[in-house]
Chain A
Amino acid sequence: MLLRHTPKEVGERKAVTINPAKTCQPIGAMYAALGIHGCLPHSHGSQGCCSYHRSTLTRHYKEPISAATSSFTEGASVFGGQANLLQAINNIFSVYEPDVIAVHTTCLSETIGDDLPQIRKKAQTEGKIPEGKYVIGASTPSYVGSHVTGFSNMVKSMVEFAEKTGKKNGKINIIPGWVEPSDMEEIKRMAKLTGVDTIMFPDTSGVLNAPMTGEYKMFPDGGTTVAELKSSGDSTGTLALGEWCSADAARLLDKQCKVPCKVLDMPFGLKATDRFVDAMRTIAGVSVADDLAIERGQLVDMITDMHQYFYKKKVAIAGDPDQVIAMVEFLVSIDMCPVHVVTGTPGKKFEKRIKEITKDKGFEVNVKAKGDLFLLHQWMQNEPVDLLICNTYGKYIARDEDVPLMRWGFPILDRQGHQYFPTVGYKGGLRLLEKILGLLLDRKDRDDPEGTFELVL
């Protein structure tokens, strides 16, 4: 057994986290910053942070992840990292020539109290930021929240670009949250189909699923441009997808430029996608395209066609709050039973939402925010499930418990597809359902006795 030291009996742990279902803020900030066109993320800390984040994102996307670091030494940790950051800004603009440097802090620079806005100001007055280039910054202490918080903080700092000219641009801002480049592309496609002009930020499509051409572009073609970020202050409204990932930025934009916002769940599954499309249509004042209605119908078709195979199947799920909330709602909506639900990210609201969604559905739910995969595994030992939905780390549990695993979330280190095939929207719903069915039916085909082995399912 891979996790042979995990006892079935669930005991209280106050101090140790085992097999986390989260990581730290800066990696989220780095991922978000990659969604700005021509942006080089910069980690203000010791070089290990940057190295770890780049490695993890690279393994997840199988794409180059460029980011720089302040390479703190012991001296910088004592005297402050200002000199390192100023030097870094100068070197980065000289050597890599990005349009934007997006600096995020680390537990190191936060603990010593480096003042990012002050350092940026100093860089500006010392002429280290060339004309037409930008340095933005987000405070992302690793000891607060999780990688999701870091993502949200960096997206929030993008709002700094927004300008209110007084002339509306007729567009809708969409803040997609921490979803895959393929998902961002899909959300844009759905908006286009509906006839809604959008500004999406961040947008990692075309950045982290770039083609192989024999040419290396440190700054690929994709990403939200600075011009778009500036224009976001003139949009009709903002749709923020995910309370944890996107709401803060949307509310700040509302406060700063009076762009009204609506915070929605991430559009995973039927109902959340319905709400997203409906909100988009309402804000833009357009009618929903037939094509989108057809896609919806196809998803409902597959749900009704194959209902018997997933009906009442038990699921354990771990992931990030916004994603898990939408996924649990999807599972419940098609009569599956997400009995164990964990996120590593803190937030009592998470537990409340999951309890609301699963209320009176005929099963008891175990739910924990700020939980870990160790706990999820213990729950699964006590009440076995038919399917585990988790990032790649789930495969250790899945193998020990002999449960099918649907890889979904971050990071996925051992399978492909998340860069290219969306799981948001109706099309994404079809893909999720296809994956779930594939796993359940493969298991059935493996386990059915020869005498009752079925050809047609």
Chain B
Amino acid sequence: MATATKKKMVQWEPADVKAELLKKYPPKVARKRAKQIMINEALENETPEITANVRTTPGIITMRGCTYAGCKGVIMGPTRDIVNLVHGPIGCSFYAWLTRRNQTDAGTDGENYINYCFSTDMQEQDIIFGGEKKLAAAVQEIYDLMHPKSIAIFATCPVGLIGDDIHTIAKNMKEKLGDCNVYAFSCEGYKGVSQSAGHHIANNQVFRHIVGENDTPAEGEFKINLLGEYNIGGDGFEIDRIFKKCGITNIATFSGNSTYDQFATAHQADLNAVMCHRSINYVADMLETKFGIPWVKVNFIGANATAKSLRKIAAYFEDQALIDRVEAVIKEEMPEVEEAVTEVRTRTEGKTAMLFVGGSRAHHYQELFKEMGMKVLSAGYEFAHRDDYEGRQVLPNLKVDADSRNIEEIEVEADETRFNPRKTPEQLAALEDAGLKFKHYDGLAPEMEEGTLIIDDLNQYEAEKLVELMKPDIFCAGIKEKFSIMKLGVPMKQLHSYDSGGPYAGFKGAINFYEEIDRLTSSNVWSYLKAPWQENPELTAAYVWE
């Protein structure tokens, strides 16, 4: 019986589980998948190698999406005052319409195009004769209707194939309109191997066309950018609340609840705090090279992780008043968090979880589960690269395959007038000596216990097998996985969209998450899967009615 209520603790060896996952595959698929399933040795800097960021095998039901989804859906979707115009047949724009839960606060009359869906709705004649004229006309129509300050154009699969020159159209329309920045993204769905390529394409264009466009001095003390935070379920709102309380000025969030001007002034920040390493670490590098802004890795998922990240930022600015204020905020926020976690821990302690999500999230959420005394049995990413598993020290040795080579890397040089190293090499070295690590990320593997299974690009079949074999108390992934896992009688939490919940970031978010996981893993609703007559099919009591 596969129900959660009837389960026994199955003794399993990771190598056996791995063998079981591979058993049914044709030999070629099994060989490939074997390299993407790693039995963790939990050794920093010396973890075994995992294969990641490689093609999904055709026919294997993957969790992954496409480059367009990563570009338009993830990175550009959350910016409220840029019109996102999708050049292609209607579907791509339709499916990315409001489904990422991009929350924003534009006030009562601010520019907000997030609730809209724009498409050139290409027809057969556009595919045959080209869609450039229609695209230019669509940009003009949007401008005439709404006068946005910026229009972003996204290519879908057929656009690249028929050769529409979207970048020239964008350039021409920008010149023609005068007060509207128009640029384009060659994010055709077939590029790369996952959403990750789309993040890269999006970020490159944001860097090229928007960052640094506005030199009007940004107000505020302790100016940072928060990179790789997408405000799912209001995470960004909670982090901004904490920053404000600490007196830290967040110039730009890339890209949750963001605006065009945030990106345009981002070069004025003095520190980049990188949340989602996968989707944006290269932007942090580019901002450092071009403008002299150092970066540190942060994690605002988990109360302890939040406190640690705030301390990192305060330590960087070397300002005692800020350091004191951060400590005061942590001291003020933590009692409520501790009260909540103590309460749920009586029920969550010792329970088990599996996390397969994103390119950084499966790492970030480990903190929260640890705070609840739960063990992560197995985890992995949908679209990560090796450095997200094993740490950045593997970067120099990464093989660049044909799929990655096609994704543009921008060559960045120091800006002639605006490059300004925020710290001298000596200052940076002193901070490093004091324990603040720059450009540093250890990845997922050291975070997980020895003998756990780390699996890249987990698919439907393996997910079902893992759950059957290891019977976790909760499984975390996305909407496509949700209901097949739940049919097995195992609670499922979406960590892409949060199932309409959240925020889970910061201190208040941690409390929300504890309560949510407690609800999912402690509820009686999972005990009703069998009817009484299925539990006890024998007819022993029949005589009573005779």
- Report which of A49, A55, A85 forms a contact with B58, defined as CB distance below 8 A: A85
Q: What 0/1 readout, one digit per residue, does chain A (69-98) give for beta carbons within 8 Å of chain B? A: 111111111000000110111111011100
Q: Do residues B118 and A18 form an inter-chain contact, with CB atoms below 8 A? A: yes
Given known contacts A47-B56, A68-B59, A143-B89, A74 and B403 CB-to-CB distance under 8 angstroms: yes
Chain B residues contacting A67 (CB-CB under 8 Å) are: 61
Alpha-carbon distance A29/B498, docked complex (angstroms): 29
Chain B residues contacting A4 (CB-CB under 8 Å) are: 109, 112
Alpha-carbon distance A387/B24, docked complex (angstroms): 54
Chain A residues contacting B96 (CB-CB under 8 Å) are: 52
Cβ of A415 within 8 Å of any chain B Cβ, yes or no, is no
Chain B residues contacting A25 (CB-CB under 8 Å) are: 91
Chain A residues contacting B485 (CB-CB under 8 Å) are: 216
The residue of chain A having its C-beta at the shortest distance from the C-beta of B481 within the complex is A64
Given known contacts A67-B61, A90-B59, A108-B189, A49 and B91 CB-to-CB distance under 8 angstroms: yes
A: contact size bracket: 35 or more
Cβ of A19 within 8 Å of any chain B Cβ, yes or no, is yes
Q: Do residues B99 and A55 form an inter-chain contact, with CB atoms below 8 A? A: yes
Q: Do residues A108 and B124 form an inter-chain contact, with CB atoms below 8 A? A: no
Cβ of B243 within 8 Å of any chain A Cβ, yes or no, is no
Cβ of B375 within 8 Å of any chain A Cβ, yes or no, is no
Alpha-carbon distance A288/B332, docked complex (angstroms): 74
Please choose the segment from A7-15, A231-239, A358-366 that sits at the chain B interface, where 4 or more of its residues have CB less than 8 A away.
A7-15
Alpha-carbon distance A76/B165, docked complex (angstroms): 21
Chain A residues contacting B191 (CB-CB under 8 Å) are: 74
Given known contacts A49-B91, A89-B59, A94-B25, A107 and B138 CB-to-CB distance under 8 angstroms: no
Chain B residues contacting A49 (CB-CB under 8 Å) are: 66, 91, 189
The residue of chain B having its C-beta at the shortest distance from the C-beta of A97 within the complex is B24
Please choose the segment from A198-206, A207-215, A445-453 that sits at the chain B interface, where 4 or more of its residues have CB less than 8 A away.
A207-215
Cβ of A63 within 8 Å of any chain B Cβ, yes or no, is yes
The residue of chain B having its C-beta at the shortest distance from the C-beta of A215 within the complex is B2
- Report which of B67, B89, B461, B484 forms a contact with A96, defined as CB distance below 8 A: B461
Chain B residues contacting A216 (CB-CB under 8 Å) are: 2, 464, 484-485, 487-488
Q: Do residues A24 and B90 form an inter-chain contact, with CB atoms below 8 A? A: yes
Given known contacts A3-B115, A4-B109, A14-B141, A91 and B90 CB-to-CB distance under 8 angstroms: no
B: contact size bracket: 35 or more
Q: Do residues A143 and B62 form an inter-chain contact, with CB atoms below 8 A? A: no
Q: Do residues A393 and B97 form an inter-chain contact, with CB atoms below 8 A? A: yes
Q: Do residues A146 and B90 form an inter-chain contact, with CB atoms below 8 A? A: yes
Q: Do residues B403 and A2 form an inter-chain contact, with CB atoms below 8 A? A: no
Cβ of A294 within 8 Å of any chain B Cβ, yes or no, is no
Chain A residues contacting B69 (CB-CB under 8 Å) are: 48, 51-52
Chain A residues contacting B144 (CB-CB under 8 Å) are: 11
- Report which of A11, A56, A63, A111 forms a contact with B483, defined as CB distance below 8 A: A63
Residues of A82-124 contacting chain B, CB below 8 A: 84-85, 87-92, 94-96, 106-108, 111-112
The residue of chain A having its C-beta at the shortest distance from the C-beta of B6 within the complex is A214
Chain B residues contacting A75 (CB-CB under 8 Å) are: 402
Q: How far is the CB of B66 from chain A (nearest CB, A)?
A: 2
The residue of chain A having its C-beta at the shortest distance from the C-beta of B146 within the complex is A5
Q: How far is the CB of A207 from chain B (nearest CB, A)?
A: 13
Chain B residues contacting A146 (CB-CB under 8 Å) are: 90
Alpha-carbon distance A436/B53, docked complex (angstroms): 51
Cβ of B460 within 8 Å of any chain A Cβ, yes or no, is yes
Q: Do residues A214 and B480 form an inter-chain contact, with CB atoms below 8 A? A: no
- Report which of B61, B115, B124, B140 forms a contact with A68, defined as CB distance below 8 A: B61
The residue of chain A having its C-beta at the shortest distance from the C-beta of B61 within the complex is A68
Residues of B35-94 contacting chain A, CB below 8 A: 55-69, 85, 88-94
Q: How far is the CB of B6 from chain A (nearest CB, A)?
A: 8
The residue of chain A having its C-beta at the shortest distance from the C-beta of B67 within the complex is A48
Alpha-carbon distance A283/B142, docked complex (angstroms): 53
Alpha-carbon distance A355/B251, docked complex (angstroms): 55
Chain B residues contacting A142 (CB-CB under 8 Å) are: 88-91
Please choose the segment from B155-163, B201-209, B212-220, B412-420 that sits at the chain A interface, where 4 or more of its residues have CB less than 8 A away.
B155-163
Cβ of B282 within 8 Å of any chain A Cβ, yes or no, is no
Alpha-carbon distance A68/B484, docked complex (angstroms): 15
Chain A residues contacting B89 (CB-CB under 8 Å) are: 24, 107, 141-143
Cβ of B211 within 8 Å of any chain A Cβ, yes or no, is no
Alpha-carbon distance A16/B124, docked complex (angstroms): 16
The residue of chain A having its C-beta at the shortest distance from the C-beta of B142 within the complex is A16
Cβ of A282 within 8 Å of any chain B Cβ, yes or no, is no
The residue of chain A having its C-beta at the shortest distance from the C-beta of B125 within the complex is A143
Q: How far is the CB of A77 from chain B (nearest CB, A)?
A: 4
Given known contacts A108-B190, A144-B123, A52 and B488 CB-to-CB distance under 8 angstroms: no
- Report which of A48, A62, A87 forms a contact with B65, defined as CB distance below 8 A: A48
Chain B residues contacting A381 (CB-CB under 8 Å) are: none
Residues of B464-497 contacting chain A, CB below 8 A: 464, 478-480, 482-489
Alpha-carbon distance A59/B144, docked complex (angstroms): 35
Alpha-carbon distance A121/B403, docked complex (angstroms): 30
Chain A residues contacting B296 (CB-CB under 8 Å) are: none
The residue of chain B having its C-beta at the shortest distance from the C-beta of A373 within the complex is B117
Alpha-carbon distance A369/B529, docked complex (angstroms): 46
Cβ of A368 within 8 Å of any chain B Cβ, yes or no, is no
Q: Do residues A92 and B59 form an inter-chain contact, with CB atoms below 8 A? A: yes
Chain A residues contacting B88 (CB-CB under 8 Å) are: 107, 142
Q: How far is the CB of A135 from chain B (nearest CB, A)?
A: 12
Q: Do residues B193 and A73 form an inter-chain contact, with CB atoms below 8 A? A: yes
Q: What 0/1 readout, one digit per residue, does chain B (119-141) give for beta carbons within 8 Å of chain A? A: 11111101100000011011011
Alpha-carbon distance A112/B190, docked complex (angstroms): 12
Alpha-carbon distance A96/B57, docked complex (angstroms): 14
Chain A residues contacting B29 (CB-CB under 8 Å) are: 91, 95
Residues of A32-52 contacting chain B, CB below 8 A: 42, 45-49, 51-52
Alpha-carbon distance A405/B122, docked complex (angstroms): 30
Q: Do residues A51 and B157 form an inter-chain contact, with CB atoms below 8 A? A: no
Cβ of A333 within 8 Å of any chain B Cβ, yes or no, is no
Residues of B1-34 contacting chain A, CB below 8 A: 1-4, 24-26, 29
Chain B residues contacting A68 (CB-CB under 8 Å) are: 58-61
Q: Do residues B189 and A17 form an inter-chain contact, with CB atoms below 8 A? A: no
Cβ of B530 within 8 Å of any chain A Cβ, yes or no, is yes
Q: Do residues A94 and B24 form an inter-chain contact, with CB atoms below 8 A? A: yes
Alpha-carbon distance A68/B402, docked complex (angstroms): 24
The residue of chain A having its C-beta at the shortest distance from the C-beta of B480 within the complex is A54
Q: Do residues A91 and B59 form an inter-chain contact, with CB atoms below 8 A? A: yes
The residue of chain A having its C-beta at the shortest distance from the C-beta of B119 within the complex is A17
Q: Do residues B483 and A214 form an inter-chain contact, with CB atoms below 8 A? A: no
Alpha-carbon distance A218/B468, docked complex (angstroms): 14
Cβ of A65 within 8 Å of any chain B Cβ, yes or no, is yes
Cβ of B400 within 8 Å of any chain A Cβ, yes or no, is no
Residues of B504-546 contacting chain A, CB below 8 A: 529-530
Chain B residues contacting A51 (CB-CB under 8 Å) are: 62-66, 69, 480
Alpha-carbon distance A143/B119, docked complex (angstroms): 12
Cβ of B317 within 8 Å of any chain A Cβ, yes or no, is no
Q: Do residues B59 and A47 form an inter-chain contact, with CB atoms below 8 A? A: no
Most buried by A among B24, B66, B188: B66
Alpha-carbon distance A56/B189, docked complex (angstroms): 18
Q: Do residues A64 and B402 form an inter-chain contact, with CB atoms below 8 A? A: no
Cβ of B438 within 8 Å of any chain A Cβ, yes or no, is no
Chain A residues contacting B480 (CB-CB under 8 Å) are: 51, 54-55, 58, 65
Q: Do residues A91 and B117 form an inter-chain contact, with CB atoms below 8 A? A: no
Given known contacts A20-B121, A24-B90, A55-B95, A87 and B61 CB-to-CB distance under 8 angstroms: no
Residues of B364-381 contacting chain A, CB below 8 A: none
22 contacts between A and B (CB under 8 A): A4-B109, A5-B146, A15-B140, A16-B138, A16-B142, A18-B116, A19-B117, A20-B90, A26-B91, A48-B92, A51-B480, A55-B95, A64-B484, A73-B192, A74-B406, A77-B188, A85-B58, A107-B156, A108-B158, A111-B158, A213-B529, A393-B98
Question: 6 closest pairs, A vs B, by CB?
Answer: A48-B66, A24-B91, A88-B59, A91-B59, A15-B137, A52-B95
Residues of chain B touching chain A, judged by Cβ–Cβ distance below 8 Å, are 1-4, 24-26, 29, 55-69, 85, 88-99, 109, 111-113, 115-124, 126-127, 134-135, 137-138, 140-142, 144-146, 156-158, 160-162, 188-193, 402-403, 406, 460-461, 464, 478-480, 482-489, 529-530
